[in-house]
């Protein structure tokens, strides 16, 4: 039963991490004056995978991978049709930049988790 509680707590941590990271990334991107959607997606994907790995009580690699897959599916629906912003040369044309940034950031975070796990298990 303790394992179930720990995974439920991990789930809550990841969801809170997602919300905090998206809001923080939106404020940061707005402050800097850059396109928000790719920044928000990339930061959120990175934080979700890392927090899923760190907060998982066991099976850390599997947990990070599952969060990457769940996040990729969610990003597909949340990103929807993405268009370049109005101040861009290709304004209002479809683009995959936000989705690609999200996926690449999530994969990079998973790679970090796998290397981190490999280093921890060797010592």
Per-residue pLDDT of the chain (123 residues; tens, 9 = 90+): 588 898 999 999 999 999 999 999 999 999 999 999 999 999 999 999 999 999 999 899 999 999 999 999 999 998 778 877 777 777 778 888 999 999 999 999 999 999 987 777 776
pLDDT at 70: 96
Gap between the Cα atoms of 53 and 61, Å rounded: 7
Task: Tell me the whole-structure pTM to 2 decimals.
Answer: 0.89
Closest among 29, 36, 108 to 71, alpha carbons compared? 108
pLDDT at 1: 57
Q: What is the dihedral of CA 86, 91, 93, 97, to 10 degrees?
A: -80
Q: Could you give the angle at the alpha carbon of 77 between the alpha carbons of 75 and 79, nearest 5°?
A: 60
Q: Do 39 and 46 meet the contact criterion of CB atoms below 8 Å apart?
A: no
């Amino acid at each position: 039963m303790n394992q179930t509680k720990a995974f439920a707590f991990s789930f809550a941590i990841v969801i809170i991490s997602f919300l905090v990271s998206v809001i923080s990334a939106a404020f940061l991107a707005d402050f800097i004056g850059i396109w928000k959607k790719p920044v928000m997606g990339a930061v959120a994907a990175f934080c979700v995978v890392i927090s899923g790995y760190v907060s998982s009580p066991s099976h850390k690699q599997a947990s990070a991978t599952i969060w990457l897959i769940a996040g990729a599916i969610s990003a597909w629906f949340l990103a929807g049709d993405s268009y370049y912003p109005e101040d861009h040369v290709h304004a209002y044309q479809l683009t995959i930049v936000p989705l690609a940034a999200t996926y690449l950031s999530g994969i990079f975070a998973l790679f970090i988790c796998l290397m981190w796990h490999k280093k921890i298990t060797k010592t």
